[in-house]
A and B are shown apart, each in its own frame.
Chain A
Amino acid sequence: KNEVEQSPQNLTAQEGEFITINCSYSVGISALHWLQQHPGGGIVSLFMLSSGKKKHGRLIATINIQEKHSSLHITASHPRDSAVYICAVVNNNDMRFGAGTRLTVKP
């Protein structure tokens, strides 16, 4: 069993829909990162969380340390949100990654 599990693996949505991507982990962590990987391959950091909730524009990330679970929400999704979203957990600067969720938003 992977230490970091993401669901779903693939997600197709219509423009404007509310999107939720989930991440569960089985190890103790000091932080959790949400990353976005574009079709060209580049990786961008969206959020770094150690507790609670963060919001940036249409993106919201939450983490529940007790339940070892995090969610990434996208409100009013747009085709430009199409990308792979990766959850990564950190323990003592050792970073472990989920397999990623491939999101496709159709116009």
Chain B
Amino acid sequence: EAQVTQNPRYLITVTGKKLTVTCSQNMNHEYMSWYRQDPGLGLRQIYYSMNVEVTDKGDVPEGYKVSRKEKRNFPLILESPSPNQTSLYFCASSPTGLGGTEAFFGQGTRLTVV
């Protein structure tokens, strides 16, 4: 089944403890991206990647890192999480980019930083 898989689905962590949220797609898509969704602010783009070893900042990249060493994986890294990074996170992929093809979203990761 074609899908975007995020792990974990739920995570509670403490301030400053490094964490990684994984995202994997099995559709050989070139484009992958990360978003966060907050009440009153909606969805905002964090980072995106057009292909392996190519990443770009979105609207709200501060406090996050990403890497794209393989086409299928695009992990989101929080080196030192803070409570303001408590949010619902979504990963998405697209065959060649959002300007020409539809997006496929992961199930979401609900992160709480205490």
* Contacts known (A41-B88, A88-B43, A100-B42); A31 close to B107, Cβ less than 8 A: no
The smallest C-beta distance from A59 to any residue of chain B, in angstroms, reads 13
Q: Tell whether B62 is near chain A: CB-to-CB under 8 Å.
A: no
The 8 Å CB contact of B33, one of A92, A95, A99, is A95
- Interface residues of chain B, those whose CB is within 8 Å of chain A, are 31, 33, 35, 42-45, 48, 50, 56, 58-59, 88, 90, 92, 97-105, 107-108, 110
Q: B100 contacts A30, CB within 8 Å?
A: yes
Pairs of residues from A and B, 9 with the lowest C-beta to C-beta distance, nearest first: A30-B99, A43-B105, A97-B43, A90-B98, A48-B102, A45-B102, A31-B99, A41-B108, A99-B42
Selected from A43, A91, A92, A98, the residue in CB contact (under 8 A) with B108 is A43
Number of interface residues of A (CB under 8 A): 25
Indicate if the CB atoms of A42 and B50 lie closer than 8 Å. no
**Interface of A with B (CB < 8 Å)?**
30-31, 33, 35, 41-45, 47-48, 50, 86, 88, 90-100
Q: Specify which chain A residues have a CB less than 8 angstroms from the CB of B58 in the assembled complex.
A: 94-95
**Contacts A86-B43, A90-B98; A45 near B104 (Cβ below 8 A):** yes
What are 27 A-B contacts defined by CB distance under 8 Å? A31-B98, A31-B99, A31-B100, A33-B103, A35-B103, A35-B105, A41-B110, A42-B107, A43-B92, A43-B108, A45-B102, A45-B103, A45-B104, A47-B102, A48-B102, A50-B100, A90-B98, A91-B99, A93-B33, A93-B50, A93-B97, A93-B98, A93-B99, A94-B45, A94-B58, A95-B45, A97-B44
